[in-house]
Structure 1
Amino acid sequence: MTTPAKLRTFSFGGGWQSMAALVLASQGELDYRTFLMANVGDDSENPDTIAYFHEHAKPFADQHGLELHLLDRVKRDGSVETIRGRILNSAGSRQTIPVYLSNGKPGSRVCTKEFKIDVTGAWLKAHGATPDNKATVGMGITVDEIGRANPNKAMPYEEIDYPLLWMGIRRADCPRIVRSVGLPMPPKSSCDFCPIRKVHEWQAMQEQEPERFERACEIEDTINRHLAAKGKPPVFVTPYGRPLRELFKHGRQLPLIVEDADACSNGWCMT
């Protein structure tokens, strides 16, 4: 039996590093021709990230002979599942995203594993990746984020590569790379309701994108409604111990809280 060719794919997160990697690949500076973006859901991802993918990233990839695939999480019955859909339709499961517990610590989560790693993994295995024929998967971690690089977190069917690290590229270099080919900078990619968000980002969302902010509040409300019905304490999408919709009332100044640095440490999100 002929062994399938070894796969080389890049994990495309939709942010600055991913677009810089795509541009570098188009110029022959990066040895990747296939880019995979796991779509957590058009109703869950930053809508500007989805728009950028279709309006800029995908056309650019096509123009330069690169493969850029948008992958959905498909259930056994053939339906597409999103993170928002799971929370709203599964009794408000709080384990889906890393909400903060009453003690201010982040809880467990499955969002990255089930909606990014598993989705990309299904594509890799369908295209020949196995423990004996591992795919090389590039991650968009830059020099200033070297602490997030951890090849030991690779799945059995993959080997993790950090090409931007080896090239000495920093996040601050990405705008120059992306704009050098006439592309606008992509927005920061992340779920609308992701708890791994700084307080000033929540405040900016409330002020500038109130409908998006309300969707995040709805997720928190849904989870807590189901927890209350079970007699359990509430959880929150920020570490401040009160509902998101009440966080910025009366112009209250919030104390600085240092987020858990390991909360998004593997490079699958926000690159």
Structure 2
Amino acid sequence: MSAPTARYLSLGAGVQSSTVLLLAAQGRIPTFDAAVFADTGWEPDAVYRHLDRLATIADRAGIPLVRVSAGNIRADALDPAHRFASMPLFTLGPAGERGMARRQCTGEYKIKPIKAEVRRRLGYPHPRRVPAGVVAEMAIGISVDEIHRARDADVAYMRNTFPLLNLGWRRGDCIAYLAEHGLGATPRSACVGCPYHTDAEWARLRSDSPTQWADAVAFDHAIRHGSARANAAGQPLRGQFFVHRQRIPLDEVRLRPRPADAHTPGCGPWTCPHPEVEPHAQPAVSGSPMREVA
């Protein structure tokens, strides 16, 4: 196995990846050549404030915190001239069929820009071929209680590592460690209008960030009949899109937060959650009335 050419951290700015950055900054694990945050342009304000705190910590430790972006996911979704990277929106077909749209947003707005940055830093930006033996380690914040999310990299020039697994740390250990070092308010990282939000997160957004709540409500209404590009082309959705699993307008949902929702993992580049689809719900597949006509 080739020795790594560089070491990077995939920084989602949630509990686990923030813990990994802090561990490196304190010298408890090997340092990184850079911590890379993929900005979708639509993170909650609390995430951006937290990211600024992490940038200060990283800078003191000599770790560059790099922000990369493939665009603003909200603006792109509502732009008739932009390709729609499908979000895992909840679907309701003409006859009441319940399903979910495909999730392409994580790959488009998080994984692709991180890979592009790694290639650039290795000296082989696309479309140049990365030579055999040129490998970057990519540390990913997955704790023991989420070990099922740990996977090998899908490209030869990256090798995924999992520092928290090596330490045997669980999410609770990370929370305690962050709190001990003044980062107890580390937020969950996910887009403002992410369909994977729990009711607790929607309720918190509504009470703590009314402007962003209104933004999510407006987005929910705007995507009801499919992407802006498809509608502009005269190809509306055969059915409806919703950001909430109840499949009614977000501002009409009666939110029912549960204590367990506080432990829901964030949407990191390689750790985006996959909630169970409701009974009898079918995923949106080609030819389904819940998908846009090609």
Cα distance per residue 1:121-175 (max 9 Å; x no partner): 1111111263622211111010111111122x53343111111111101111113
In the TM superposition, residue 247 of structure 1 has moved relative to its aligned partner by 1.0
The two structures, once aligned, show a CA RMSD in angstroms of: 3.1
Normalized against structure 2, the TM-score is what? 0.75
Q: 1:24-173 maps to which residues of 2 (within 5 A)?
A: 24-33=23-32, 34-41=34-41, 44-54=42-52, 56-73=53-70, 81-90=71-80, 95-102=85-92, 103-128=97-122, 130=130, 132=132, 133-151=134-152, 153-173=153-173
Instruction: Quickly say closer, same or farther: Cα 1:254–1:186, change in 2 above 3 A.
Output: closer
User: Corresponding residue for 2:178?
Assistant: 178
In the TM superposition, residue 269 of structure 1 has moved relative to its aligned partner by 4.4
In the TM superposition, residue 4 of structure 1 has moved relative to its aligned partner by 11
Identify unmatched segments of 5+ residues in structure 1.
74-80
Letter in 2 for 1:58: A
User: Corresponding residue for 2:5?
Assistant: 6
Structure 2 distance, partners of 1:17, 1:231, is 37
Instruction: Quickly say closer, same or farther: Cα 1:94–1:240, change in 2 above 3 A.
Output: farther
Aligned with 1:241 (options 210, 230, 247): 247
Instruction: Quickly say closer, same or farther: Cα 1:220–1:183, change in 2 above 3 A.
Output: closer
Report how many aligned residue pairs link the two structures: 249
In the TM superposition, residue 95 of structure 1 has moved relative to its aligned partner by 4.4
Structure 2 distance, partners of 1:201, 1:57, is 22
Contact 2:21 2:58 survives alignment (8 Å) = yes
User: Corresponding residue for 1:77?
Assistant: none
Give the secondary-structure state (helix, strand or coil) at the position aligned to 2:99.
coil
Cα distance per residue 1:226-262 (max 9 Å; x no partner): 56872621111122121212112xxx7699xx9xx9x
In the TM superposition, residue 51 of structure 1 has moved relative to its aligned partner by 1.4
Structure 1 distance, partners of 2:75, 2:271, is 20
User: Corresponding residue for 2:292?
Assistant: none
Identity among equivalent pairs (%): 27
Give the secondary-structure state (helix, strand or coil) at the position aligned to 1:190.
coil
Identify unmatched segments of 5+ residues in structure 2.
125-129, 274-294
Normalized against structure 1, the TM-score is what? 0.81
Instruction: Quickly say closer, same or farther: Cα 1:13–1:149, change in 2 above 3 A.
Output: same
Instruction: Quickly say closer, same or farther: Cα 1:58–1:93, change in 2 above 3 A.
Output: same
